[in-house]
Amino acid sequence: MDRAKTSLSEGSIGSDFLQLDVREAPPGGLADWLAGQLRAAIADGRLPVGGRLPASRVLAAELRVSRGVVTEAYQRLIDDGHAAGRGRAGTVVVAAPVQPPEPVPDRSASKVITALPGAEVFDAVRAAPARIDLTPGVPDLTAFPRAAWLRAERAVLDELEPSHFGYGDPRGAPSMRLAVSRWLARNRGIRVDPGEIIVVAGVAQALTLLGEVLRQHGVGAVAVEDPGSLGARQHLHHCGLETPPVPVDDDGVRVASLQAPAVLLTPAHQFPTGVVLGGERRRELMQWAADGGIVLEDDYDAEHRYDRAPVPAVRSMLPEVCYLGSVSKLLAPALRVGWLLAPPRFFADLVAAKRFADLGNAVLAQLVLARLMETGELERQLRVVRARHRRRRDAMIQALSESLPSAVVHGAAAGLHLTVTFDGEVDDVAVAAAALAEGVKVQPLSWHRQVPGRPGLVLGYAARTATEIAEGVAVLGRLVSL
């Protein structure tokens, strides 16, 4: 008699491994059935080459079959070349049936860089191969302070109680909110109680939460700077909000042109032009807000300044501002840590939106980052990357003067990118697509416009060496002159 059948009604049956259930096996054919299930998993990739099969004793216990059934099935895989016994390493998959190659998605430059980019455009651009990536908004990722992070992480783990590994406050860890409040007071002139801070997964999530809550409050449109961030517009559109454009000049956004109930601004370093919101415009904005306007301040690139004095955050003068910040440009976007400050009328709804989005950011990263803030490591990191970014900014300005002397350079005093504009009939989308085809990744300025304007390119320099910058800009110069 098949011993596997004697205890099928006792307790749970089956294994989490491949969701195997012996009740699906034909009577008397357990080994054949199990070998077939394993071959199918190898064929469709659920068991990849190099993957280890469970120990025969463990799988037999989970399936409630004799160990001989499992060892016989494994031996059949070994005999037909799918697996090999590796002693203490167990039974390992060593070969899979030859499958026809899957079609490779068309990622040609003409498909990635288009005049009307869709919501997936930034994913496609990131995935596109390039020798020299001059994408804006990326810091020098090689400068991530690994040693300081590891020291802080070890110190945090040494101090943690078991309770800290449970679910936390959706607003964020208390020590992180305290560290952020002190960081903002020191570096951005913002005085805020830690209880008024919501820790979020970067500015992107802050925009999504705000979009959701503003719609709940009857807001149907958020005005945006023009030119202004395509990515920010996409987030607001995803929330069902309209994004009427407001023109930007050398003093920043033209507040007198605001018609929507809310506006999203990058006043410290406007993206992509790099201008600063001037004093008179700030006073106009404060009056506009006093009359009921809602201001969303993305404190973009505020820390990265080279040739100018610090610019205070609008939130430091206007407590009713919804303020968004993060460490993506200072440490790394991969951390997905930022903060959101909001006035009382939106705060409870934003906390609720954050709670139902993800129950709060991962706590361990918050605690490590809080320690870096409180010990001064983050300020030291800022000084290191600011000096490095300045050198690379200078290298790009030099390269532009040599290879694109007719281009007008914008935003050189701060940030992680430069914007160049051209006179004449330059198709910036075509130039960016041709550059990608030659292995150089840039963004066309027209992506960030809703109203037609001068063509141009947005060029990140922080993540590239001086040699790479010169080579990439030389390619651009040749393409623009064609």
Question: What pLDDT, on the 0 to 100 scale, is given for residue 6?
Answer: 38
Which two three-digit tokens encode residue 299?
A: 């404190």
The 10 Å Cβ neighbour count of residue 11 is 7
Domain with CATH 3.90.1150.10 in the chain: 109-142+380-480
Q: What is the pLDDT of residue 373?
A: 97
Q: How confident is the model at residue 326 (pLDDT cuts 50, 70, 90)?
A: very high
pLDDT (tens digit per residue) in 232-282: 999 999 999 999 999 999 999 999 999 999 999 999 999 999 999 999 999
- Burial class of residue 184 (count of CB atoms within 10 Å of its CB; 0-12, 13-18, 19+): buried
Residue 442, both tokens: 């840039």
- The lowest-confidence range among 20-24, 193-197, 366-370 is 20-24
Are the C-beta atoms of residues 294 and 214 closer than 8 Å to each other? yes
Q: Are 432 and 443 in contact (CB under 8 A)?
A: yes
Distance CA 455, CA 424 (A): 9
Look at residue 7 in the predicted model and tell me its pLDDT: 39
pLDDT value at 429 more than 60: yes
Q: How far apart are CA 462 and CA 452, in angstroms?
A: 28
Select the CATH number that applies to the domain covering 109-142+380-480 from these four: 3.40.920.10, 3.40.50.300, 3.40.50.720, 3.90.1150.10. Answer: 3.90.1150.10
| Cα–Cα dist 107/257, whole Å | 40
Confidence grade of residue 99 (pLDDT, cut at 50, 70, 90): low
**Is the pLDDT assigned to residue 332 strictly greater than 90?**
yes
* Residue 1 pLDDT greater than 80, yes or no: no
Evaluate whether 472 touches 166 at the Cβ level (below 8 Å). Answer: no
Cα distance between residue 457 and residue 462, in whole Å: 16
425: pLDDT strictly greater than 70: yes
Beta bridge pairs of residue 325: 339
Res. 301 pLDDT band, cuts 50 70 90: confident
**Residue 251 C-beta-side C-alpha neighbours within 13 Å:** 11
Give residue 310's pLDDT band: very low, low, confident or very high (50, 70, 90): confident
With respect to CATH, is domain 11-93 assigned 3.30.470.20?
Answer: no
E strand or H helix at 204: helix 202-216
Has residue 105 got a pLDDT over 70?
Answer: no
pLDDT tens digits along 344-403:
999 999 999 999 999 999 999 999 999 999 999 999 999 999 999 999 999 999 999 999
* CATH 3.40.640.10 residue spans of the chain: 146-376
End-to-end CA distance of the chain: 82
Q: Taking the mean position of all CA atoms in its chain, how far away is CA 411?
A: 23
- 188 within 8 A of 196, measured Cβ to Cβ: no
Contacts of 175 (CB under 8 A, 6+ apart): 366, 367, 370
Q: Is the pLDDT of residue 4 over 80?
A: no
User: CB of 431 within 8 A of CB of 113?
Assistant: no
Position 307 scores a pLDDT of 85
β-pairing, 408-410 vs 262-265, is unpaired
Would you state the pLDDT for residue 406?
A: 93
Confidence check: pLDDT of 173 > 90: yes
Provide CB contacts within 8 A for 304, sequence distance 6+: 269, 329, 385, 386, 389, 414, 415, 416, 462
Domain 146-376: CATH class, spelled out: alpha beta
What pLDDT does 14 receive? 72
Tokens of 49: 């080459």
Rounded Cα distance, 288 and 290, in Å: 5
Q: Where are the alpha helices (DSSP H) in 138-197?
A: 146-159, 174-188
Q: Quick one: pLDDT at residue 28? A: 79
Residue 9 has pLDDT above 70, yes or no: no
**Residues of the chain above pLDDT 70, percent:** 94
> 457 versus 95: which is more confidently predicted?
457
pLDDT at 438 exceeding the cut of 90? yes
Cβ partners under 8 Å of residue 405, min gap 6: none
pLDDT digits (tens, 9 = 90+) for 462-472: 999 999 999 99
pLDDT in tens, 110-146: 689 999 899 899 999 999 999 999 999 999 999 999 9
Q: What is the mean pLDDT of residues 81-106?
A: 73
Interatomic CA distance for residues 448 and 231, integer angstroms: 9
> What pLDDT sits at residue 471?
97
Contact 34, 54 (CB under 8 A): no
Mean pLDDT of the chain, nearest integer: 92
Residues listed for the chain = 482
Q: 179 CB contacts (<8 Å, ≥6 apart)?
A: 369, 370, 371, 373, 374
Domain(s) labelled CATH 1.10.10.10 in the chain stretch across 11-93
Distance of alpha carbon 92 from alpha carbon 83, whole angstroms = 5
Angle at 36 between CA 35 and CA 41, to 5 degrees: 100
Tell me if 294 sits within 8 A of 286, measured CB to CB.
no
- For residue 8 the two structure tokens come to 């099928």
Contact between residue 199 and residue 361 where contact means Cβ atoms under 8 Å apart:
yes
Q: Rounded mean pLDDT of 445-463?
A: 96
Determine what percent of the chain is predicted with pLDDT higher than 90.
81
Residue 436 clears pLDDT 60, i.e. is over it: yes
